[in-house]
Amino acid sequence: MALSKNRIKYIHSLELKKNRKTEKVFLAEGPKLVGDLLGHFPCRFLVATAEWLSQYPQLPTEDVSEVSAEELSRASLLKTPQQVLAVFEQPEYKTDASVISRSLCLALDDVQDPGNLGTIIRLADWFGIEHIFCSPNTVDVFSPKTIQATMGGIARVKLHYTPLPELIRSLPNIPVYGTFLDGENMYMQQLSSNGLIVMGNEGNGIGKEVEQLINRKLYIPNYPAERETSESLNVAIATAVVCAEFRRQAASL
């Protein structure tokens, strides 16, 4: 099936959140990412070069367009197109706060950068964190930039958009962690194997309303302590450091 101008226009329209929301779809590009997602989300249609298609004789969609590299570049949102792009249906997950009592979960309070969100999803996938709860103002997970940055982690990590204060208030006797400059040294604390780790906005950190509900304040110490250093860590890097320590302690039990 040839790639029409209308289809190219449709693919480009998915850069906008309102169009993704209306259509309930998202765009993914590249052999690794598309290959990872094909078994996890229904595929509306797929556009690929003959080289890529030769490796996938059976595809879970009949709507496939074989194109030249030049045609793919006209449809792609990437500066350097990578053999294949696909449009997938957005998953709909039921928000179940009880998973926080049984496992370690993340919460994101107004994270704004698509790359940061995608990297955090990738980190969660690496550290076996299956649920991320996002404030309504957190960037859209189905942004093409976010999807690309997940490197396939979106296939195994479920995101839920929900007001965080209400979520946290519904968690009786469950540890809720957050990182603050006045928190306790993370490496000197006994960290639990379940609970919620809250990470904040790139510029403003964790909002005041959410901060008041956090019952375990942590601090990521710089090294050495007396050395002058950067003001703060990028939120995705901070998430990696915190998750690594939680999993290190869990592994040593």
What secondary structure, in 3-state letters, does 155-200 show? HCCEEEECCHHHHHHCCCCCCEEEEEEEEEEHHHCCCCCCEEEEEC
Residues 133, 101: Cα–Cα separation, whole Å? 14
* Encoded tokens for 153: 């982690």
Among the listed residues 86, 84, 126, 79, the one whose alpha carbon sits nearest the alpha carbon of residue 106: 126
Give residue 69's Cα distance to chain centre. Answer: 29
Region 173-184: mean pLDDT is 95
Q: Count of domains in the chain?
A: 2
Q: Which of 197, 199, 190 is closest to 174 using CA atoms? A: 197
pLDDT confidence of 39, banded at 50, 70, 90? confident
Task: Tell me how far apart the alpha carbons of residues 39 and 48 are, in angstroms, rounded to a whole number.
Answer: 17
131 three-class SS: strand
The residues that bridge with 93 in the sheet, in sequence order, are none
- Mean pLDDT is lowest, of 11-25, 140-154, 174-188, 213-227, for 213-227
Which domain covers residue 42, as residue numbers? 5-89
For 115-149, how does the pLDDT look when each residue is reduced to its tens digit (9 = 90+)? 999 999 999 999 999 999 999 999 999 999 999 99
Q: What is the mean pLDDT of residues 153-169?
A: 97
CB count, 10 Å around CB of 140? 18
* CATH number, position 131: 3.40.1280.10
Average pLDDT over residues 59-64: 92
* Residue 171, pLDDT score: 93
Which of 89, 123, 143 is the endpoint of a domain?
Answer: 89
Q: Of the candidates 89, 109, 140, which is a domain's last residue? A: 89
Please provide residue 112's backbone torsions phi and psi, each rounded to the nearest 5 degrees: -110, -25
Nearest-CA neighbor of 59 among 77, 40, 39?
Answer: 39
How far apart are the two ends of the chain, measured CA to CA in Å? 56
Give the residue from 89, 105, 131 where a domain finishes.
89
37, 149: one domain: no
1 pLDDT tier (thresholds 50, 70, 90): low
| Residue 54 belongs to domain with CATH number | 3.30.1330.30
